Amino acid sequence: MLDLKFVRENPDIVKENIKKKFQDSKLPLVDEVIELDAKSRAAKQEADDLRANRNKISKEIGALMAQGKKEEAEEVKKKVTEAATKLAELEALEAELSEKVTKIMMVIPNIIDESVPIGKDDSENVEIQKYGEPVVPDFEIPYHAEIMEGFKGLDLDSARKVAGNGFYYLMGDIARLHSAVISYARDFMIDRGFTYCVPPFMIRSEVVTGVMSFAEMEAMMYKIEGEDLYLIGTSEHSMIGKFIDTIIPEEELPHTLTSYSPCFRKEKGAHGIEERGVYRIHQFEKQEMVVVCKPEDSKMWFDKLWQNTVDLFKSLDIPVRTLECCSGDLADLKVKSIDVEAWSPRQQKYFEVGSCSNLSDAQARRLKIRVKGSDGEKYFAHTLNNTVVAPPRMLIAFLENNLQADGSVRIPEALRPYMGGKTEIRK
């Protein structure tokens, strides 16, 4: 969420930013929120004047009563009553206008970084760099679900009976591989100085609206019926929520956290063949990284975060590339985002396995996450997040890139301690 004062003083910049995100339908909101804000401030000023005048008149009543001028005092009392009625009306109007202003401010997008390429959707994202040599073997790579089923490691039919489409059972070596990847990612991030955390897997609505836009909330979140609780779509939600309504001493920053959680997402809509199996699912597990820092440090941390994911995939011999998300592909709270994509030998193309985002002070402003500087001044923190790994999707890249001609799967050296020393898994 933007600073209302910034919107009031820079409407043209806010409108131009909306155009860059190809959200022209939101352009009228800028003038509307400025008008509502002006009315709200006018109502507040009038209410403040009435309160000051009421206090003055109250003193007059006491003086008149002391002088025995009861009739004059009663007349003044009538003025106080009238002022009280008017004040109640103004306070109600002020609350109503304030609510309308907040509602609009929640949907006006954050100002994107000047380095973000302009484009309508993800088809216009820009490749930055490739890491590792993408290889297409001289033998056929089966569909990922077939690879898993070949090890008796995936049961979609039973999951469909138990929970419906979009769920799965992982079994045997495939399930162990899944857990090994999560454990390795956890230790990888701990070795890089991040504090390990297991957060709540449900959050209240005030946290949901603090960490994401209404559109994202509707498309992603599962609501717990009868309670003010939502299942998290990523641990970033509860990790940022951890700092809600806090004032952090500047010397404690940055907070660098890596968190494990299951994730739950609606994943609405129909998907192609390559997104069946365990690619696009309602439930998965994830290792995440989150940073809360000073504003001047957020660009530096952004580069560190996506580099962590690249380095992890490189350590597992999986070729990856980074993509700069264009303006139209950025969620409203984000100022900059980079996707990490892994190479798929089967499809002979890259696919997304992680996303790194800088949200500047948008989440902090919504959740009231402030920093107290050495001079005593308070300001909003910057928040960032990035995927370390998110299996089982990550397993698709792992299995395809480590599949051998005889159908076995090679275990990279870095992962072997987490697989009981195995160098490969066989059917």
pLDDT of residue 216: 83
Q: What is the mean pLDDT of the chain?
A: 92
62 confidence band (pLDDT: 50, 70, 90): low
pLDDT at residue 63, as a whole number: 64
Tell me which amino acid residue 327 is. S
Say which range, 76-85, 328-337, 413-422, has the weakest mean pLDDT: 76-85
* 404 pLDDT higher than 90: yes
Q: How many helices (H) and strands (E) does the chain have?
A: 13, 18
pLDDT tier at 70 (50, 70, 90 boundaries)? Answer: low
pTM: 0.89
Are the beta carbons of 110 and 335 closer than 8 angstroms?
yes
Label residues 202-235 b or e (16+ Cβ within 10 Å = b).
Answer: bbbeebbebbbbeeebeebbbeeeeeebbbbbbb
pLDDT value, residue 277: 86
d(CA 396, CA 403): 11
* Helix orientation angle between 27-66 and 70-105, rounded to the nearest 10 degrees: 160
Domains with residue ranges and CATH for the chain: 4-105 (1.10.287.40), 122-425 (3.30.930.10)
Mean pLDDT of 10-33: 97
Alpha carbons 75 and 244: distance in angstroms, whole number: 50
pLDDT confidence bin for 270, thresholds 50/70/90: very low
- pLDDT of 61: 62
Task: Summarize the confidence of residues 265-272 as an average pLDDT.
Answer: 65
Beta strand 382-389 with 283-293: parallel, antiparallel or unpaired? Answer: antiparallel
Residue 163: CA atoms inside 13 Å, Cβ hemisphere, count?
Answer: 11
Confidence band of 361 (pLDDT split at 50, 70, 90): very high
Work out the average pLDDT over 312-332. Answer: 97
Please name every residue paired with 256 in a beta bridge, in sequence order, or none if there are none: 291
Q: Does residue 194 surpass a pLDDT of 80?
A: yes
pLDDT range class, residue 268, cuts 50, 70, 90: low
Place of tokens 């990035």: 386
The residue assigned the tokens 């002070």 is 361
Q: How far apart are CA 154 and CA 179, in angstroms?
A: 14
- Give residues with Cβ within 8 angstroms of 254, minimum separation 6: 291, 292, 293, 294, 297, 301
pLDDT at 269 over 60: no
Q: Has residue 401 got a pLDDT over 60?
A: yes
Tell me how far apart the alpha carbons of residues 248 and 295 are, in angstroms, rounded to a whole number: 13
Query: 164-168, 172-176, 343-347 — which is least confidently predicted?
Result: 164-168
The CA distance from 179 to 184, in Å, is 9
- Amino acid found at 200: P
Q: Residues of the chain with pLDDT > 90: what percent? A: 82
Judge whether residue 275 has pLDDT over 60.
no
Residues linked to residue 341 through DSSP beta bridges, in sequence order: 321, 352
Contact 218, 224 (CB under 8 A): no
Question: Using omega within 30 degrees of 0 as the cis cutoff, is the peptide bond preceding 392 cis?
Answer: yes
pLDDT, tens digit (0-9, with 9 covering 90-100), for 213-253: 877 888 889 999 999 999 999 999 999 999 999 999 999 99
Beta-ladder partners of 350:
343
Q: What is the reported pLDDT for 279? A: 87
Q: 292 and 254 in contact (C-beta within 8 Å)?
A: yes
403 CB burial (10 A radius; 0-12, 13-18, 19+): buried
